[in-house]
Amino acid sequence: MGLDITSFDSITDYSDSQIKLIGAASITYAINVGSGVYRWEESVTVDSTAPDLNEISAMTQKHWVTREVRRRMNDALIGVVPPSTTAGIVRIQSFLVETLDSIVSSGIIAPYGQELAIPTVRPISPSSDTQVFSDENDRRLYHFRYFYNLRYPIKRLFGVYSVDRKFWDAASQAA
C-alpha cells in the first residue's frame, strides 16, 4: 500500500457507474485522485463459504462496509502519532466504533441488538463488538476486527385470507 508505480503508458478513467461494475466483478482498478496521481483500488473478494453468498444485498453490504471502514480509517488515522501503543489502540477502537455507528445511523447495516419478540437495540460496545491490538513485530502496525449485523430483504411471503368475516376478530369467533 502506498507504493509508487511509474511503468504505465496510459491509464483509462472510468465513470462511477463503470467503476461499480468493475468492482462488482472483483477487478482491481486505479482512481484518478488529481494532479496526475492515481490510487490503486483493491477489490474485496467474495467469501464463498458464507451462508449469505447467494444473497446479493448481503454481499453488497459486506463489500460496502469493508471498503468504507478501510477508507475512513486510512484517511483519519494513517500518519497519526499516538503517545503510546495503548493510546493508539484506544484511538483506533473509538474511531472504529464511531465509523460503525455512523454506518448504522445511515441505515446501511442493521442496528446492534437482538431480534426477539420485542427487538432490542443497544449501543456498539468497543469491548465486545471490536478488537484492536498492535503487532508484536512492528509497532507501527495495528490489527483490528469488528462485528456488525446485516440487513436482509423480505424474500418470501405467505398469506391467509378470510371472506365476509375477519378470522382473527374475537367477535367473529363467538358467532
**CA 66 and chain centroid, separation:** 4
Beta bridge partners of 32: 38
112: its cell numbers: 446492534
Q: How much of the chain, in percent, has pLDDT values that exceed 70?
A: 78
Cα–Cα distance between 140 and 78 in angstroms, integer? 10
Cα–Cα distance between 73 and 112 in angstroms, integer? 21
Beta bridge partners of 143: 133
Write down the pTM of the prediction: 0.63
Q: Over the stretch 107-129, which tens digit does the pLDDT of each residue have?
A: 999 999 877 677 789 999 999 99
SS3 32: strand
81: its cell numbers: 502519532
Radius of gyration of the chain from Cα atoms?
Answer: 23
Confidence of residue 24 (pLDDT cuts 50, 70, 90): low
Averaged pLDDT for residues 11-39: 73
Cα–Cα distance between 111 and 94 in angstroms, integer? 18
Averaged pLDDT for residues 56-69: 85
Are the CB atoms for 169 and 159 separated by under 8 Å?
A: no
2 dihedral zone (left: phi>0; alpha: psi -120 to 50; beta): left
Averaged pLDDT for residues 50-66: 76
- The residue written with cell numbers 459486506 in the block is 62
Averaged pLDDT for residues 137-145: 94
**What's the pLDDT score for residue 1?**
44
Confidence of residue 153 (pLDDT cuts 50, 70, 90): confident
